[in-house]
Amino acid sequence: MAQTFEQFNQRLSALVRSGAMGKAIENAARTLALEGQRQAVFYTRTNGLKVRSGNLRSSIRGEARLTGKKAEVILSVSGAPYAKTHEQKGRLGTKVTITPKRSKYLAIPIGPAKTLAQHGRVPGPRSMQGQLAFVQSLKGQPLLVHVDTGEPWFLLRRSVTIPSRPFMKPALDHIAGQAPTVLGSELRRLLDNRL
């Protein structure tokens, strides 16, 4: 059906007034939020993060919000306080230095302090009061060893530097590139059905 520009403009205005245009934008934002969530989980698998509990992956959420004439896509992580450390600076190749907050050293579990799954067997050296002694290796490395067996349980470090392993920023970059296509697809579907 051929229509003049004026007729097309009137129908388009009617779509905006009816809220159908806002609904199409909201659908696009929802699609992008789910894609962002999927991509963030994907990047946690491919950027070198080691999975212990799966808590980080399961706490990633994509959400769409439509407020007035503005649509927002929000990616968030809750319940995984270490997520910020891995995301820090948001670029591969950067590094993050972790330092102790309440003591002189970071205690890194080694040997019998770790389970087969590489988890800490105990909450930390403070939970083993009286069972550990401070020693230095022949190379000067500070250690906490078990007083009965002499076996090292914790490696002590003043700081640890780890590479940044971002997962949120690459996901946001991905959906920013997908936004015109997804939005265009939703608007085309609306126009095909309504005009």
pLDDT per position as a tens digit, 37-59: 999 999 988 877 777 777 888 88
The whole-angstrom separation of Cα 167 and Cα 10 is 44
Give CA–CA dist 169/159, Å, rounded. Answer: 26
Domain ranges for the chain, please list them: 10-94+163-194, 100-158
pLDDT confidence of residue 193: 76
What pLDDT, on the 0 to 100 scale, is given for residue 89? 55
Distance from C-alpha of 19 to C-alpha of 135, rounded to nearest angstrom: 71
Whether the CB-CB separation of 176 and 107 falls below 8 Å is answered with no
Look at residue 90 in the predicted model and tell me its pLDDT. Answer: 46
**The pTM is what?**
0.68
d(CA 60, CA 119): 22
Rounded mean pLDDT, 75-98: 74
SS3 state of residue 21: helix
* Cβ proximity of 67 and 27 under 8 Å: no
Secondary structure of residue 91 in the 3-state scheme: coil
